[in-house]
A and B are shown apart, each in its own frame.
Chain A
Amino acid sequence: MWDYSEKVMDHYRNPRNVGKIDDADAVGSAGSLTCGDQLKIYLKIKDGIVTDAKFQTFGCGSAVASSSMLTEMIIGKPVSEVRKITNKDIADQLEGLPPEKMHCSVMGYEALEDALKDWGKDEYQDLEDIRAEEEKKQKIVCTCFGITENVIWDAIKQNGLKTVEEVTNYTKAGGACGKCKGLIQDIIDTYYKKEEHQKSDGLSPAQKILKINTIIEKQISPELQKDGGDITLVDIDGNRVYVKLRGKCSGCKNSTLTLKAFVETSLRDAVSKDIEVIEVE
């Protein structure tokens, strides 16, 4: 038995805003009969405000609860605000969903996105970006469930997913034949590489030198001193960090290991993944 919250149970027992709006201003759908869950959402929008929302769902308890909660969350809200709603917001409003059921909240987000896709696109968006985004949207990663790259990308971004298993729980991708698991891993890797890249780009060369120096002086050196050794920073050239080892450490057989495993990891974790530590005599 799933550990559903009271909120989830209340919403699947008494779903709100069930039905169809015949003269809807926006209609969106996500999922399919083959996949085992499908959601259709109908919106009435007036003066940029969602005045009414209804849904029809084929799916499990948490799918119905997510759909029902979503309609409650958007009625009366301006479209600009509704657009910001993520699957995580839906799950949070439901006081959480079991990990294996997170894809139900993603379905809500997808249907909403689908409904609003033609509704007042951001004016300043670069044409190139739009094109690239559209292309990405159409690239299907998981053929069993028809999950596209952007759905996976968004799920990783919004929920901080780190493993293929988590992505499967949130989006269903990879949950059937599993052939796309490698592709999903690639997307995860690309996402975090990009994030890393953005992070390291945030530091100017001077800031980077300062940061490396501080970490060596305040963190690494005291650690090595505990074992009767020490470390001095000699030079920094891009991502290459030249250090000198003193005391018990120098000449010690384990010194290379110490350098690689400890100094390098510390610096890589704190500053940049690309840092290389080189010992000088």
Chain B
Amino acid sequence: MDKKLVYLDNNATTRVDDRVLEAMLPYFKEEYANPSSMYEFAKNPAHALREARGKLKDFFNAANEKEIIFTSCGSESANMAIRGVLSMNKNKKHIITTKVEHPCVLNLYQTLEKEGYTVDYIGVNSNGELDLAQLEEAIHYDTALVSIMYANNETGVIYPIQKISEIIKKRNPQTKFFVDAVQVAGKIPIDVQALGVDLMGISGHKFHAPKGVGALYCNSKTIITPLIIGGHQERGKRAGTENVPYIVGLGKAAEIAQDFLKYEATEVKRLRDKLEAGILKNIYNARLNTGAAQRVPNTTNIGFEYIEGELILLHLSDLGICASSGSACTSGSLEPSHVLRAMNVPFTAIHGSIRFSLSKYTTEKEIDYVNEVLPGIIEKIRSISPYQEELAELKKLKTN
């Protein structure tokens, strides 16, 4: 058997685009000067830094380059935004977020709760869509921050950021709005001005830049305290010598992503839909976990009833196919995905839920291959399940 690799886990991380790597290399080799230095040799790195900032400004459609802060990752962007806003509004002790945020944000909120903050967690319906009425009701005079992800990493469901922004402004214009946009960067167009958000974080490695670089948009009306204190870099908002090669890489990736948005919306979506349709058609115990919710073009989350997710992943991996699972067993946490639980995905399907996430590098051949081999894998795992009667019932229901 030839060793294939079909990488369908692009919400976890992505392959670095060759052009991104090319753009970075000079800043490791010849152009290694510190951009803050006062000599000719530092001019190119300083220029590259400015240029990258400009590209990120365009990427977010920010009003000003000064609103872009480079960070090391999505988690840093989120921590900086949240902590930064809260420490500038010390008298306000209320935060609103969702039950389905990324762990980097949820764990931070758990810490903040111990520090004396009250956090409201907004729930979702069975398609994974936010309960906006609950959100509206939760906002009051003491609310310092609302923090909501742009799209969910596990399901790909997009949240109505613009609408939420309007709700917040209506209820309390002083409340700041942070959006974790890690899972939409490079997948759908971003326009912070139209959306009306105050802060937005992204991470490079989710859209073909390397791991270890991210960015935070922070609009000029929002003042935040730095997380890392030291030098004057990033206008005093993030100390530490700028990671020039990686920032250049992020800039290049942002530029390329802009050009690829149309491809994402058409071709990547077409392949995702093809994969999804194939699975739902050929596998009787498969269910789409997100129903008709609006999603990013590259993600599908499918529950395979009465079988367990890790075993599916292991068998897929034997054939070179990479995906991920919301099952308890893969994380070592013993609890199935908090996102799928918040959606009330039935227990028959929650442990067998698999996320496939595509990228611009995914080919039709790869999707056809997965659709060809997956039914066999599922059949094999079904055959050892103790729930034979339930499965037979399901089969009857589906085929009728």
A interface with B by C-beta (< 8 Å): 12-13, 15, 18, 20, 29, 33-34, 36-40, 55-61, 63-64, 100-101, 103, 145, 168, 172, 175-176
* B333–A175 touching, CB < 8 Å: yes
* A59–B387 touching, CB < 8 Å: no
Assess whether B311 is interfacial by the CB under 8 Å rule: yes
Closest residue of chain B to A58 (Cβ to Cβ) is B385
Q: Closest approach, in angstroms, between the C-beta of B376 and any C-beta of chain A? A: 13
* B387–A33 touching, CB < 8 Å: yes
Chain A residues with CB under 8 A of B387: 33, 58
* B311–A56 touching, CB < 8 Å: no
* B329–A59 touching, CB < 8 Å: yes
Q: Closest approach, in angstroms, between the C-beta of A115 and any C-beta of chain B? A: 14
* B334–A61 touching, CB < 8 Å: no
* A168–B334 touching, CB < 8 Å: yes
Assess whether B131 is interfacial by the CB under 8 Å rule: no
Chain A residues with CB under 8 A of B332: 100
* A61–B310 touching, CB < 8 Å: yes
* B334–A176 touching, CB < 8 Å: yes
Q: Closest approach, in angstroms, between the C-beta of B118 and any C-beta of chain A? A: 21
* B314–A12 touching, CB < 8 Å: yes
In the complex the two chains form, what is the Cα distance from A63 to B383 in whole Å?
Answer: 15
Assess whether B388 is interfacial by the CB under 8 Å rule: yes
B interface with A by C-beta (< 8 Å): 306-311, 314-315, 318, 327-330, 332-336, 347-348, 351, 383-388
Chain A CB within 10 Å — which of B306, B329, B333 has the most? B329
* B386–A36 touching, CB < 8 Å: no
In the complex the two chains form, what is the Cα distance from A101 to B335 in whole Å?
Answer: 13
Chain B residues with CB under 8 A of A38: 386
* B334–A175 touching, CB < 8 Å: yes
Chain B residues with CB under 8 A of A60: 308-311, 314, 327, 329-330
* A36–B351 touching, CB < 8 Å: yes
* A34–B347 touching, CB < 8 Å: yes
- Partner of A29 from the list B334, B351, B386 (CB cut-off 8 Å) is B386
Q: Closest approach, in angstroms, between the C-beta of B335 and any C-beta of chain A? A: 5
Q: Closest approach, in angstroms, between the C-beta of A66 and any C-beta of chain B? A: 12
* A61–B311 touching, CB < 8 Å: yes
In the complex the two chains form, what is the Cα distance from A12 to B306 in whole Å?
Answer: 17
Closest residue of chain A to B386 (Cβ to Cβ) is A56
Closest residue of chain B to A177 (Cβ to Cβ) is B335
- Partner of A175 from the list B335, B348, B351 (CB cut-off 8 Å) is B335
Q: A36-B308, A63-B329 are in contact. List 6 more A-B contacts (CB 8 A).
A: A29-B386, A56-B384, A56-B386, A58-B386, A60-B308, A145-B334
Closest residue of chain B to A34 (Cβ to Cβ) is B347
* B334–A58 touching, CB < 8 Å: no
Chain B residues with CB under 8 A of A34: 347
In the complex the two chains form, what is the Cα distance from A233 to B107 in whole Å?
Answer: 56
Query: A56 and B334 in contact (CB under 8 A), knowing A33-B348, A36-B329?
Result: no
Q: Closest approach, in angstroms, between the C-beta of A62 and any C-beta of chain B? A: 8
Query: A33 and B347 in contact (CB under 8 A), knowing A172-B334, A175-B335?
Result: yes
In the complex the two chains form, what is the Cα distance from A103 to B332 in whole Å?
Answer: 11
Closest residue of chain A to B335 (Cβ to Cβ) is A176
Chain B residues with CB under 8 A of A13: 315, 318
* A56–B388 touching, CB < 8 Å: yes
Q: Closest approach, in angstroms, between the C-beta of B243 and any C-beta of chain A? A: 28
In the complex the two chains form, what is the Cα distance from A33 to B318 in whole Å?
Answer: 25
* A18–B329 touching, CB < 8 Å: no
In the complex the two chains form, what is the Cα distance from A58 to B309 in whole Å?
Answer: 10
Chain A residues with CB under 8 A of B318: 13
Chain B CB within 10 Å — which of A15, A59, A60 has the most? A60
* A40–B334 touching, CB < 8 Å: no
Q: Closest approach, in angstroms, between the C-beta of A168 and any C-beta of chain B? A: 7
Query: A12 and B311 in contact (CB under 8 A), knowing A175-B334, A176-B335?
Result: yes
* B334–A59 touching, CB < 8 Å: no
Closest residue of chain A to B352 (Cβ to Cβ) is A58
In the complex the two chains form, what is the Cα distance from A100 to B333 in whole Å?
Answer: 8
In the complex the two chains form, what is the Cα distance from A64 to B385 in whole Å?
Answer: 10
Q: Closest approach, in angstroms, between the C-beta of A246 and any C-beta of chain B? A: 52
Chain B residues with CB under 8 A of A33: 306, 347-348, 351, 387
Chain B residues with CB under 8 A of A176: 334-335
Sample of 11 A–B contacts (CB below 8 Å) = A12-B314, A18-B384, A20-B388, A29-B386, A36-B308, A58-B351, A60-B311, A60-B327, A63-B329, A101-B329, A176-B335
* A57–B334 touching, CB < 8 Å: no
In the complex the two chains form, what is the Cα distance from A218 to B385 in whole Å?
Answer: 62
* B388–A59 touching, CB < 8 Å: no
Instruction: Please provide the 6 A-B residue pairs with the shortest distance between their CB atoms, ordered closest to farther.
Output: A175-B334, A60-B329, A60-B310, A56-B386, A100-B332, A40-B386
In the complex the two chains form, what is the Cα distance from A37 to B309 in whole Å?
Answer: 11
Chain A CB within 10 Å — which of B309, B315, B335 has the most? B335
Chain A residues with CB under 8 A of B307: 58
Closest residue of chain B to A20 (Cβ to Cβ) is B388
Chain B residues with CB under 8 A of A145: 334
In the complex the two chains form, what is the Cα distance from A22 to B329 in whole Å?
Answer: 30
In the complex the two chains form, what is the Cα distance from A175 to B314 in whole Å?
Answer: 23
* A36–B336 touching, CB < 8 Å: yes
Chain A residues with CB under 8 A of B308: 36-37, 58-60, 63
Closest residue of chain A to B333 (Cβ to Cβ) is A175
Query: A64 and B384 in contact (CB under 8 A), knowing A12-B314, A33-B347, A176-B334?
Result: yes
Q: Closest approach, in angstroms, between the C-beta of B304 and any C-beta of chain A? A: 11
Q: Closest approach, in angstroms, between the C-beta of B265 and any C-beta of chain A? A: 33
In the complex the two chains form, what is the Cα distance from A56 to B383 in whole Å?
Answer: 8
* B334–A37 touching, CB < 8 Å: no
Chain B residues with CB under 8 A of A58: 306-308, 351, 385-387
Query: A39 and B386 in contact (CB under 8 A), knowing A58-B306, A60-B310?
Result: yes
Chain A residues with CB under 8 A of B314: 12, 60-61
* A36–B327 touching, CB < 8 Å: yes
